Amino acid sequence: MKTYIIGNWKMNHNIGEINNFFSFLNTEEQKKELARILRDENKEAWIAPQYIHIGMVKDLCASLNVNMRVGSQNSSTHEKGAFTGEVSAKALKDIGAHFVIVGHSERRSMFKEDYKMLKDKIALALSFNLKVVFCIGETLQEREEKRAVSVVRTQMEESLKGIDKSVFASEIILAYEPVWAIGTGKNATPDEAQEMHAAIRGILTNSLGIDPETAAILYGGSVSPTNISDLMKQKDINGVLVGGASLKPDDYLKLCQAQKR
């Protein structure tokens, strides 16, 4: 099973900051270390910058001569048309994007993206051969009400049912992000994260008919270089989706170093 370190830069980093990020990684020592890590074909390092920087970041990743992937934080439900401000999966594929993040809690809460919209986004992204990182997770109230698993089950069933099983394993990565831990400095304990990841594998089997051993499930929510090792030791955690800690190149490299052996 592959492990993934995916940096979600959100609405951060200008051109100068991006150049500084890659200047650090392009020094002889850091470049050699990154090459050592990614020489293992079962370890992946991905970055999702703002739309307008995808081409630039893709070129800078290529300059490192390592297999780093670049993708988008979102995409439209429509292939083309009069949808001002939207970005299509087709356009993302054209500029060399490898993946798209769908269903992040910030999109669900701030932009009111519902199950149907997310299902349409997934289908369109897959049709243009973009891999999908699909985010799921409960709020603090839902967890305190003991509804965390049922909430995640509904999110998965409503947006993922009907996807070809053979496509699921190779093209979709799940990212469990407890909403109460995103950008708060709080994070689920390794045991709490493992418990939910195991439950998600059960949902894959019982609700979606997917072989749980073929699915990659990432953890997200205030992941940092100080807590990633304990998270990655858990049986059912295959990597992390990281926000703030992925913005600093030295931290991003440390996250990559913590991948499972």
Strand blocks (E) in the chain: 3-8, 43-48, 68-70, 99-102, 131-136, 172-176, 216-220, 239-242
Distance CA 13, CA 49 (A): 8
Contact 94, 131 (CB under 8 A): no
Structure tokens at 101: 């993040």
Which residues on adjacent β-strands are paired with residue 51? none
Which residues on adjacent β-strands are paired with residue 72? 100
Contact 131, 171 (CB under 8 A): yes
Contact 138, 176 (CB under 8 A): no
The owner of tokens 């932009």 is: 111
Which residues on adjacent β-strands are paired with residue 4? 44, 239
78 catalytically annotated: no
Catalytic residue (one of 13, 104, 142, 197) = 104
Q: What is the dihedral of CA 162, 6, 34, 54, to 10 degrees?
A: 90
177 catalytically annotated: yes
Side chain identity at residue 254, one-letter code:
K
Catalytic residue (one of 98, 138, 177, 197) = 177
Distance CA 119, CA 116 (A): 5
Residue 240's SS3 state is: strand
So which residues are the catalytic ones?
104, 177
